[in-house]
Amino acid sequence: MGQPRTIVIVKTGEPVPTVLERRGHFATLIEQTIGPAWSGGYTTVDARTEDLPAPGAPGAADIAAFVITGSSANVPHREPWMLRTEAWLRDVVRAGTPTFGICFGHQILAQALGGEVIRNPRGREIGRIRVERRADDPIFDGLPSSFETHATHVDTVGTLPGGARSLGFTELDDHQVIRFSKACYGVQFHPEMDHDVIAGYIAWRREVLQAEGFDVDALLARVSPGQLGSRTLLNFIDHIVPRRA
């Protein structure tokens, strides 16, 4: 059995400037995290400025899955490109194409499918966090009942779409992992961010974080290698993305 040819990474933003300069775009971080788990190719499309590939369009059969990146944009701002992306996502999920949303990608999936994204009333979540599982699911294959990973966000999924199931939570966010459909998942954390990347985010936002009352040095001290959230993205590739002869 072979693999379908292409994973399409849907870009919705860029990493903070220092991380972008040192480590590259979100697409690069995602491809590096997936690594040898995927032997097919990748294509990147920018949801803000480019047309997104419609299910059923020529070449759509060669798309194995979509991965929606993070962004510094905010779903509640309802910008025109977000509304276009949400309409497209409804078609993608309806067609059953495997889809995995990361942070902003997780949120825009929730909004597109009938949920609501809001400013998190518990405040910003950034740095190394502990996710508690609510259920067994293929997305958690090989992961313990709680695991540490990296996050940076100020918005949250306040209301789940109909039919969605929340699979994991943290102290500051009720919906860290959501299964929207059999082939569609979202994670509020960043499986593609290693310790170097999240430390770069914390350092870049030092002044903002201090103004919000965070102990930035303590946040940085908690950062360490070995975050396990990357396993969710690998499990998506291994268990949700179909192989093709």
The residue type at 175: H
Predicted confidence band of residue 55 (pLDDT cuts 50, 70, 90): confident
- Model pLDDT, residue 244: 62
Query: 76-103: per-residue pLDDT in tens?
Result: 999 999 999 999 999 999 999 999 999 9
Q: What mean pLDDT comes out for the span 53-67?
A: 85
Distance, CA of 235 to CA of 224 (rounded, Å): 22
| Two tokens, residue 241 | 């993305």
Residues 6+ apart with CB under 8 A from 202: 126, 127, 209, 216, 219, 220, 223
Q: Which range (58-72, 82-96, 155-169, 205-219) has the least confidence?
A: 58-72
Q: What mean pLDDT comes out for the span 16-42?
A: 97
Distance, CA of 198 to CA of 225 (rounded, Å): 10
The residue type at 16: V
Per-residue DSSP letter, 104: H
| β pairing state of 184-187 and 63-68 | unpaired
| Two tokens, residue 36 | 């040898």
Query: 109-162: per-residue pLDDT in tens?
Result: 999 999 999 999 999 999 999 999 999 999 999 999 999 999 999 999 999 999
Catalytic residues: 103, 190, 192
